[in-house]
Structure 1
Amino acid sequence: MTVLASSWTDASSLGYPVLFGGVLLGSIVPVVPTGAVVGAAAAVATSSGHLSLPLVVLIAAGAALMGDLITFSICRFGGPTAVRWVSRGQHTERIDEVRGQFRDHGWQIIVVGRLLPAGRIPVLVAAGALAYPWRKLVPAAAGGCVLWAIAYTLIGIVSGGLFDNPLIATLLAAVLILLITGLLNLIAARRRKRKAEREKTERESEPTP
């Protein structure tokens, strides 16, 4: 406990509060690229040794879990106005699709939703609307957050291993994560578009009664 406390007050370890605050804020209000924050912290840990990789994973996962639970609480107890605020910019059909999947694959959807870019908000909105039980939500969300933190830490480790300069390693980690996120979002958007076109074609081909 003494070691942990000293690491938070050491001037060379001020990245921990930034890591925690950035991930927590980005998990509630998606204005901060949380994956890039984790990757950057991991790059600093690898290239400079000023941060501890296990602590980076632990703090990132804890902040992400806290943010997810707060977002879920807003969706569950905040009423229609709060739900609209959380789900702004989200595709309505995506939320409806996730809501339908919850009945059979609840905890799997929560884990996958945390790992996929733009998948977290629709999952938490659907979970809140369905009053998903806390006893199932918390362990699933915790598992998803740990896997998420490990995945983005690994990207940071790669960039930190390529460059000894912490600044360059941090920038590379952020760029890599943003590129990967953009690519996955593009793939998801194309899949939604193809699905919508297929459903439209099926409706048009149905005989008129």
Structure 2
Amino acid sequence: MIDQLGTLGWLFLVVSFGAIVPIVPTGAAVSGAAALTFHEHPLMIVFVVAAGAAGAYLGDLVMYAMCRAGGEQLARRLRWLRDEERLSAVKERLNRSQVPVLLMSRLIPGGRVPVLLAAAFLGMSWRTFVIANLPACALWSTVYAGIGVAGGSIFPEPWEGVVAAVILILVVNQAVNWWNKRREAVEEPSGTPESA
């Protein structure tokens, strides 16, 4: 039991850190922990989901506070702000529907940081962010734990399920990034003004 609590503590720390430093594969950490837990203690998956969601929530709060306090200068210095047009589009969507945009931003690879920046720059209230981000983090952790459980149930050895879950997350993330870059490349020529 103490081993499982230690694992959950590490998962919480890794996900919290990864929510602040977006290069850490937090989804893969939750999926791997769920795949491992599925083989050893299936009922502990609920705690894996809770630890992942709590870590994501704490990390998001810290990141949102940094965005609110540091503003665009901090975002540019840390290279979080890369695409002004994308940020403008996210701001428009946030103005229309805050909660659904926060929910979806957690599930789309690379979608969370622009939404947090847009929310901070728009001055979304802390109360709204704190309430809306709870279900977003819970849904995110549940989805990634589900991927881990699927990997863990397919393979007989725990390590095989962990490897399969991590590879699946990385493949999905790369596919979404490739799709976004391809879409932007197609849109870019049509957005440039024609020369006379």
Same fold (TM over 0.5): yes
- Residue identity matched to 1:160: G
Give yes or no for contact 2:81–2:114 (8 Å, CA) kept in 1.
no
2:169 counterpart residue number: 177
Task: Please state how far the C-alpha of 1:99 moved relative to its aligned partner.
Answer: 1.8
Residue-by-residue CA offset, 1:38-80 (whole Å, 9 max, x unaligned) = 0001101112227711111111111101111111110111244
Instruction: Work out whether 1:32 is the aligned partner of 2:18.
Output: no
Would you say the 8 A contact 1:87–1:122 is kept in 2?
no
Asked if 1:78 is matched to 2:70, the reply is yes
CA separation in 2, counterparts of 1:56 and 1:89? 32
Aligned residue number for residue 160 of structure 2: 168
In structure 2, relative to structure 1, the CA distance for the partners of 1:169 and 1:59 (3 Å cut) is same
Map 1:97-176 onto structure 2 (within 5 A).
97-176=89-168
| Contact preservation (8 Å) 1:47, 1:169 | no
If you compute each CA radius of gyration, which structure gives the higher value, 1 or 2?
Answer: 1
Identity of counterpart residues, as a percentage?
A: 33
Q: Which residue of 1 aligns with 2:86?
A: 94
State how many pairs are aligned. Answer: 196
| RMSD of aligned Cα (Å) | 2.0
CA distance in 2, matches of 1:66, 1:12: 21
1:194 to 153, 170, 186: 186
TM-score (norm 1): 0.85
Residues 86/67 of structure 1: CA separation in 2 closer, same or farther (3 Å cut):
farther
Give secondary structure in 2 for the equivalent of 1:204. Answer: coil
TM-score normalized with structure 2 length: 0.91
Q: Please state if 1:58 is matched with 2:50.
A: yes
State the partner residue of 2:194. 204
**Which residue of 1 is the match for residue 15 of structure 2?**
23
The 3 A distance-change label for structure 1 pair 18 and 195 is: same
Matched residue SS, 1:174: helix
Q: CA distance change for structure 1 residues 13 and 163 in 2, over 3 Å: closer, same or farther?
A: farther
Post-superposition Cα deviations, 1:99-133, rounded to whole Å, max 9, x if no partner, equal: 23222122221111111000000000111111111
Shift of 1:15: 1.3
Q: Distance in 2 between matches of 1:88 and 1:109?
A: 18
Alpha-carbon distance change, 197 to 142 in structure 1, aligned in 2, over 3 angstroms: farther
Q: 2: distance between equivalents of 1:89 and 1:136? A: 23
Query: How far has the Cα of 1:179 moved from its partner?
Result: 0.6
